[in-house]
Amino acid sequence: MAPITKREYVLADGRELIYFDDADSTLNPDRKPDARVLDPRPTTATMRQDVLTGEWVSIASARQNRVFLPPAHLDPLAPATDTNPSEVPDNYDVAVFENRSPSFGPELGDVPAAGSIGIGRTHPSIGRCEVVCFSPEHEGSFGSLSQSRARTVIEAWADRTAALSALPGVEQVFPFENRGEEIGVTLSHPHGQIYAYPYVTPRTRRLIDQVDALGPDLFEQILTSERASERVVLSGEHWTAFVPFAARWPIEVHMLPHRHIPDFTATNEAERDELSSIYLRLLRGIDALYDTPTPYIAAWHQAPVTEKRDEIRLMLQVTSPRRAENKLKYLAGSEAAMGAWIGDVAPEQAAAFIREGIAKA
């Protein structure tokens, strides 16, 4: 089979556009140029520091103008037509481009000084935000892809993780998929995003503290413990998916590689091939739990660009607020205000339920 092929272009306003053609693609290798006349890109947003926590908040007002649940004939992620001058000028298998209204970027440069805290402290929201279109179809999700297409998306994640990690000022790269209006999705087109942050995110900072406290083999300890439990939902030669011991969400599944891998760039061909199958089985199983598609966030946690790369392992975390067929878990007082979680479903019970969904799918 031919290799997955990468083809690089530039959009009318200078943003990067990359096509990734399936190994079994039937598309013409030559793609149309972007013939639109576009306004200049918005200026880079500004981050403000929360002095109570030291965390950064990007104030990205340009995001207010993004498209909200358009009909199929106006889908901005579909291949362009004469009546729909979309973001992608030609047909594609997988397409990646810089977000037109990003939370971070397009400016690159120096990161804010680590450890400094002060009232009124600001810094440009440097970095990069990219959109990853999984398919030219108007509706769907990662779970609706063919295995060949899923493998192409994984190749794109690896390629973009390497490229974004090399940009000046990027400290961490985060591929993710938001699925479902209940999550806040504004486009039904099957797609994900990649954020390249100018700092190590708060969640990862807390993880680093745990690694320092429990040892550099923390992820190996977790994997050994979970693989011996009744919470495993899927396992292959290279990957294991499980409901974590202290799951917060009604549906929550984590997946780890069996060897230490800091990010997608470090995965080998066999690991990527198996992932394209086992990840589809997991998402389709979660969708089979009920008669309607399940909303979720699929978050690929990767090691920071320069810190703890020998200790923090690539990890998928899929979470859904769906606690029953017609009920959602809302983050109210204890969770939202204090960060003190109360689980609605025992993790062992959730794992058994998810295994049933996988078997059904």
As a three-state string, the secondary structure of 259-313 is: CCCCCHHHCCHHHHHHHHHHHHHHHHHHHCCCCCCCCEEEEEECCCCCCCCCCCC
What token pair was written down for 86? 């979309």
Is residue 272 left, alpha or beta, with left meaning phi > 0 and alpha meaning psi from -120 to 50?
alpha
CB neighbour class for 133 (10 Å; exposed up to 12, middle 13-18, buried from 19): buried
| 3-state SS, residue 136 | coil
Contact in structure between 239 and 275 (CB atoms under 8 Å): yes
Quick check: 171 and 305 in contact, CB under 8 A?
yes
In terms of Cα–Cα distance, which of 146, 230, 135 is closest to 191? Answer: 135
Q: Which residues are designated catalytic?
A: 191
- In Å, how far are 223, 226, 227, 322, 355 from 230, measured between CA atoms? 13, 8, 8, 22, 11
